[in-house]
Amino acid sequence: MLTVHTDTKVHKMWSENVPAARAKSGDTVRFETLDCFGGQLKSEDELLGGLDWNNVNPATGPLFVEGAMPGDVLKVEILNIELGDHGVMVGAPGEGITGNVVCGEVTKILPVKDGIIKFNDKLSFPVSPMIGVIGTAPKGEGIDTGTPDSHGGNMDCTQIGAGTVLYLPVNTEGALLAMGDLHAKMGDGEVEVCGVEIAGVVTVKVTVLKDCKLPTPFLLGKEKAMTIFSAKTADEACVGATLAMHSFLMKELGMGDHEAAMLLSVTGDLRVCQVVDPEKTFRMEIPRTVTEAYGYEFM
């Protein structure tokens, strides 16, 4: 199996990035990833202010997928996520929604063992592994790996985990898939600017789809289908995610405009992914029972 190692990483998703590896459509690939701090925080004495910001949010890759051409869709089946033995969290004034109510900088090292995160002496949580940064090269200028957009990127969507399928746009030959910023666990919103940041290994299957009409990024879980949208403001991201799903219901399921809108009010769940990055990210979820009722089959 092809493995993309952490010595080949990018800090900007861009069509001009040199491919770290090449795969064929249908191949299974392992991505080794660093945590979002690039492995710089090794103890609780090392703080956010001392980071080399040029090495923050590394994304392993990019992977060139043969046959992927602009206008195609890259189907990324997330098969497995392996986590390291500890996670890192930070807090600092001015960071995240809580940045105005905390004092001083803090780094917290959280042991991860047997699928359990030890938060403190009283609280432990089961892991819920997810990928924070995953995307293809965007159109035009490169986009920093810390920023989400229509190409994917730093969406910080808690639902992007093992057993899901992420559909991403192909904007340049080879797609140039890269990923990183794993979390052992994170709440929707990521309100203090980070989850349990952790290194690990992601195993995916990549498939090039021709003539796929899904609005990307699009995420398919076992029970839910989701449109993901990022924008400068939370309001814009809410509207974008909702209208993307509304368009899907009309174009792919054949619903009328009011019918699709009513369905979203009845059974659609509009949820925040993150509100702490340069662009905010929301998702609109519908049950897969809706698409099944219409006999719709995802590629």
DSSP of 237-294 = HHHHHHHHHHHHHHHHH---HHHHHHHHHHH-EEEEEESSSSSEEEEEEEEHHHHHHT
Inter-residue contact 169 to 151 (CB < 8 Å): yes
| 280 and 156 housed in the same domain | no
| 203 and 228 housed in the same domain | no
Residue 90 lies in a domain: no
Domain final position from 156, 179, 208 = 208
Evaluate the omega torsion of the peptide bond into residue 148 and state whether it is cis, within 30 degrees of 0.
Answer: no
What pLDDT is recorded for position 155? 98
CATH number reported for the structural domain that contains residue 253 in this entry? 3.10.28.20
| 235 and 204 housed in the same domain | no
Residue 135 lies in a domain: yes
What pLDDT is recorded for position 48? 84
| 140 and 202 housed in the same domain | yes
What pLDDT is recorded for position 18? 98
Residue 201 lies in a domain: yes
Residue 89 lies in a domain: no
Phi and psi at residue 153, to the nearest 5°: 80, -145
| 60 and 133 housed in the same domain | yes
Residue 251 lies in a domain: yes
Which of 41, 76, 71, 260 minimizes the C-alpha distance to 161?
A: 76
Angle between helices 234-253 and 257-267 (to 10 degrees): 120
Residue 297 lies in a domain: no
Domain final position from 162, 184, 208 = 208
The helix (H) or strand (E) run that includes residue 175 is: strand 175-183
| 243 and 166 housed in the same domain | no
Which of 145, 147, 127, 100 minimizes the C-alpha distance to 195?
A: 127
Residue 180 lies in a domain: yes
Q: Quote the CA–CA distance of 28 and 19 in Å, as a whole number.
A: 17
| 32 and 172 housed in the same domain | yes
What pLDDT is recorded for position 261? 98
Domain membership of residue 52 as a residue range: 2-39+48-68+77-83+128-208
Residue 173 lies in a domain: yes
| 137 and 13 housed in the same domain | yes
DSSP of 2-44 = EEE-TTSEESEE-TTSPPSEEE-TT-EEEEEE--TTTT---ST
Question: pLDDT by residue for the chain (299 residues), tens digit each?
Answer: 999 999 999 999 999 999 999 999 999 999 999 999 999 999 999 898 888 888 999 999 999 999 999 999 999 999 999 999 999 999 998 888 988 898 899 999 999 999 999 999 999 999 999 999 999 999 999 999 999 999 999 999 999 999 999 999 999 999 999 999 999 999 999 999 999 999 999 999 999 999 999 999 999 999 999 999 999 999 999 999 999 999 999 999 999 999 999 999 999 999 999 999 999 999 999 999 999 999 999 99
